[in-house]
Every structure is written in structure tokens, then in C-alpha cells.
Homo-oligomer: A and B are copies of this chain.
Amino acid sequence: MSDNIETIRHSISHVLAQAVKSFHPKVKLGIGPAIEDGFYYDFDNLKITEEDLKKIEDKMREIIKKNIGIKKVLLTKKEAEKRLAGQKYKLELLKSLKDKRITFYEQDDFIDLCKGPHVKSTKDIPIDAFKLTHLAGAYWKGDSKNKMLTRIYGVAFNTKHELDNYLKMKEEAEKRNHIKLGKELEIFMISDLVGKGLPIWLPKGNIIKEEIEKLAKEMEKKAGFIRVTTPHLAKKELYMMSGHLPYYENSMYPSMKMDDGTYYLKAMNCPHHHLIYKNKLRSYRDLPLRIAEYGTVYRNELSGTLAGLLRVRAMSMNDAHIYCRKDQIEEEFTNIIKMIKEYYKLFDLKDYWFRLSRWDPKHKEKYIDEPANWKMSEEILRNVLKKLNVKFIEAEDEAAFYGPKIDIQFKAVSGREETMSTIQLDFAAKKRFDLSYQDSSGGENKDVFVIHRAPLSTHERFIAILIENYAGKFPVWLSPVQVIIMPIADRHLEYSKDIEKKLLDDDVRVEVDSRSESISKKVRDAQVQKIPIMITVGDKELENKTLAKY
């Protein structure tokens, strides 16, 4: 039986430490665990650069080739202390151990305080399937009050093929990194003066954002959605009614005390939409009522977790709430899923599947306790998925507090799994907000179901994924600059400007590169900007009144 990859990764970290110690006998060892895709080891008193990694890697292979046995050794605490003399971090770890017998692993002259398990011999480590990747600083025990140690990271797999695939994928992901491309393509910026997690859409990013909004508005108008605009904040009382307060307060922005009460930036759009629903008497004929909004919600994430467009504090989304009768749930869910499939097709997103997220009756504290409603609604959602014949899985204990949902899971180019869209059934809102409609006999019916849906995720997340997915090469309809006209010499500028004007009149997003640069420089720059249509204008084009596509 071959060793578990976790075990192999852990053993490589020991080999790494052994190799480092052979060059730098005075290093103090921290810890060296296996992690996702690889391993690391922390060292104190080690001054190296990334150039040194190659040498260490070579030494590691040397050790592996030696076929050294890795032996488990049990010592008393006293013996252990003796063996760890001078290794202050290890001694600190030893102190916290309650065991009578302390486990060590030993290979040649290298011994390490370690619970294991490990491979039997260094030769059990696939010699060509690992790589040291980079250095990083890391506080001892992850605490910024402690000393910063030097961490060496590596990746390791069972086979060279797997390693190569991984490295290729990483390289590709790095090229597609939305933070890097977002900067190069001038899609968004983040300023310390405005705050992390609050991206600013630059003109080019704003065009992408507006094209997406235009598409959504057109598609959803046809699907019977009406649109509203609600303020970005509301009074405490609204969030008490919705139940966001006090339970969700830590995730919300701090409150603002005004002369007429306490205000919060909104954490969700639904409470506002419920008020719009309640603003007039609704008749059974008005249902389903589909209220949509490009709304912005705010989350008080820790600043340390914020990055690019994927971890933000303000999220704008194509949100909607559908108010319907029980007998309309199935059709509404069906139509939303069809719409999502259409959206994904338009954006060339392929690697996705559906997930029916159910409640867990064993965790009643997390869910509204209405077993009959759960049973009924999960059944409806399952039926929808079955009838549509789409790929789906079921996941217990993944529902919202107020009802089951269908999540659309997506595998990003980077390998990351994302929940891209969600359709949630809500049978709690009707009570909290006292929703009702007048039925055909004129009586008041309080059985109003609410469906929450956001098919295009948030602008921030969606555009990050589009950047990655297209590797920055947006299709023409989404490209901030659709056409660039490059005059070869200054004498071709006037004709270029004529063409620009014609295209502008036809609502094409066009630019002329009027710089006095060589055509090859212009082409290179246009390629960096990933402009889909490049046109060169030279003597021939000027004479024949034609255009040449590069």
C-alpha cells in the first residue's frame, strides 16, 4: 500500500529541515506540517534568499536517495528535554505536552519532536514530485507578538505528472489573477484612503459593470421583474424586524446614531423590498410580484481578510425578491434556473452544477422549526431540479435559516469552488413582516412565500471570475475598448479619426492610438490591453478607403 500523500508531505518537511540543518547547523526549528498541496517548515536564525532554495532542494534529493530509515523513538520527558537542548521553540512545544512518553522521529543525525506518522524510509518519497516554492515570514505560533521566523514552502504530489499539472495550473492562474489583470486593464483600483474591501470601478471596469447591468435589466424585464432603488441604510427597527439584529450585528457595519434613531448600512436588500411589497394592498392577481434591484449590501469583514474583488466589504448585486403563492413556487424556481443557465451560457461559464441545500432537523437551533414546511419545500425544489434534468447534488445542513435553497456551484479556473448564484425559499418573512394578499374571494391570505435570488452573484465576485475565466480577453460586447485604430504614420491620423467618428456614431467603443510610436509598439500595447479588434491604417487603406484587421 502506498503512503498517504499527507504522510509523504509531512516526511518531506522533515527532509527539508534535515537539509537546512546540514547547511546551517545553528538554526532553531519551529514546526513543519503538511498542508494543502504541500508542506512548510519554520526556522529561526536562518538568513537565506529564494536563490538558496535550489541548493536545499538538491540536498533534499540527496538525502532521499540515501534511503535513510525513519524511526519512531519514544522518550521520557527528561530524555526529550535533553535531546532538544538549545531548540527553544521545540522545548516550548514539549512543555505543553501532557504525555508520559514523547514521540520523536529520527533519520540519521536528524531527530524531531513529532507525532507522525511518517514514511518508513526517505526512499518512499517520490523524488521528482516535489518542489520548494517560496519563502515567507511567519510569526511563531501565528501570533504577531512573537518573533518572526523564516518559513520555507514547498509543494509535493505522488507523481511528477501531478506536480507538473499543478505548477502549470498555478502559472495559468497567476496569469489570470484578477488583481493583477484588474490593475493592468484598469478595471478597478483600491485606495488606502477609501479603504480596503471598497473597490473603485475605473472607467473601463465601469463599462463592463454597466454592460452586465444592461443585460440583466433587459432579460429580467422580459421575465416580468420590476425594478426599484432603495437607500443604502435603514433604521435599527427595520433590522430588528427582519431579525438581522441583534443576531447578525457583528457582521454589520457599526451603527450611526442620528437625532431620530440609530441607523445601519444595509446587510441585505430583502427588508427594504418587503416594505415595498407592503406599501399597497396586493391582490392574488399581482402575484408573483418580482421586485429587483441592483442593490449594495455591506459586511464588516476583518480588514486582514480583504483582497481584490473577491473579499470586499461592499457588494453590489442583481438582487430580487419574488413574492408568490405556494402553488407558484415550482414555476418560479424553474424559470430562475432557466434564466441562470441562459446567463451562464452568455458568459461562457461551463463548469457548474446545482446543489440542493437542505436543513438538518438535528440542528433545530439553526433553522426555523417548521418540519412540514421544510419537507414540502425541499420536495418542490428537488422536483424542479429533477424535471429540468440538471446535474445536482444534495447537501444537508446547508440551507438558509428561513428555508431550503438551490446553490449553483462553480469551479473557477484557479480550481477554487465558488457558490456563484443562489435561489432561496423563505417561509419566515411572511410572519416577520406580516405579508399578505387579497385572495379571489376578497379575504386576506397570509401564505406569502418569498424567493431570494441573485443569479449573477455580486458585481465584485462575478467580474473577478469573468476576468479569470476570460484571462482578461473579454468578448467584444463586454470589452471596454472594442476597436483600436492604429495609424501607421501621422499622415494616416485624419482618416483614422474619420473612421473613429463613424464607429462612435454606431455606439462602438473605439479609440485611435494617435501616439507617434511605431506600429509594432502600438500593436504590442493593444495586445497588453487585450483589445479584441485591432485595425491598422496605412497608405493602402487610406488610398482605397478600406480597413485592415491586424
Binding site for B on A (CB under 8 A): 186, 189, 191-196, 198-203, 206-207, 209-210, 226-235, 237-238, 241, 253-254, 256-261, 263, 265, 271-272, 275-276, 279-280, 285, 291, 296, 300, 302-303, 314, 514
Contact pick for A200, options B193, B263, B272, CB 8 Å: B272
Provide the bound-state CA to CA distance between A228 and B241, in Å: 35
Contact pick for A256, options B201, B254, B258, CB 8 Å: B254
**A193 in contact with B227 given A256-B254, A257-B254 (CB within 8 Å):** no
In the complex formed, the residue of B with least CB distance to A232 is B232
Give me 12 other A-B pairs in contact (C-beta within 8 A), A193-B275, A201-B230 excluded. Answer: A193-B235, A193-B237, A194-B231, A194-B233, A194-B238, A194-B272, A194-B275, A207-B227, A232-B314, A253-B258, A254-B257, A259-B303
Which residues of the other chain, B, contact A194 by a CB distance below 8 angstroms? 230-231, 233-235, 238, 272, 275
A238 touches B193 (CB 8 A): yes
Which residues of the other chain, B, contact A280 by a CB distance below 8 angstroms? 186
Provide the bound-state CA to CA distance between A297 and B221, in Å: 29
Contact pick for A233, options B198, B231, B291, CB 8 Å: B198
B195 touches A276 (CB 8 A): no
Total identical chains: 2
Which residues of the other chain, B, contact A227 by a CB distance below 8 angstroms? 203, 206-207, 210
Provide the bound-state CA to CA distance between A312 and B448, in Å: 33
Chain B min CB distance to A425 (Å): 23
Interchain residue pairs A-B with the least CB separation, the first 5: A260-B303, A203-B226, A198-B231, A201-B229, A193-B238
A231 touches B200 (CB 8 A): yes
Which residues of the other chain, B, contact A275 by a CB distance below 8 angstroms? 189, 191, 193-194, 200
Provide the bound-state CA to CA distance between A285 and B227, in Å: 41
In the complex formed, the residue of B with least CB distance to A226 is B203
A sample of 15 cross-chain residue pairs with beta-carbon separation below 8 angstroms, ordered by A number, consists of A192-B237, A193-B275, A194-B230, A195-B233, A195-B258, A200-B228, A200-B230, A200-B231, A200-B276, A201-B229, A203-B228, A207-B227, A254-B257, A259-B303, A260-B303
Which residues of the other chain, B, contact A229 by a CB distance below 8 angstroms? 200-201, 206, 209
Chain B min CB distance to A254 (Å): 4
A202 touches B231 (CB 8 A): no
Provide the bound-state CA to CA distance between A183 and B546, in Å: 58
Which residues of the other chain, B, contact A196 by a CB distance below 8 angstroms? 260
**A303 in contact with B195 given A200-B276, A227-B206, A229-B200 (CB within 8 Å):** no
Provide the bound-state CA to CA distance between A259 and B305, in Å: 11
Which residues of the other chain, B, contact A263 by a CB distance below 8 angstroms? 195, 253
Contact pick for A303, options B200, B258, B272, B291, CB 8 Å: B258
In the complex formed, the residue of B with least CB distance to A312 is B231
Which residues of the other chain, B, contact A193 by a CB distance below 8 angstroms? 234-235, 237-238, 241, 271, 275
In the complex formed, the residue of B with least CB distance to A230 is B200
Contact pick for A296, options B232, B256, B272, CB 8 Å: B232
Chain B min CB distance to A517 (Å): 13
Provide the bound-state CA to CA distance between A202 and B253, in Å: 26
B302 touches A202 (CB 8 A): no
Contact pick for A279, options B189, B238, B261, B265, CB 8 Å: B189
A256 touches B253 (CB 8 A): yes
Provide the bound-state CA to CA distance between A206 and B229, in Å: 7
B195 touches A261 (CB 8 A): yes
Which residues of the other chain, B, contact A276 by a CB distance below 8 angstroms? 189, 200, 202
Provide the bound-state CA to CA distance between A413 and B537, in Å: 56
Chain B min CB distance to A440 (Å): 12
Which residues of the other chain, B, contact A300 by a CB distance below 8 angstroms? 258
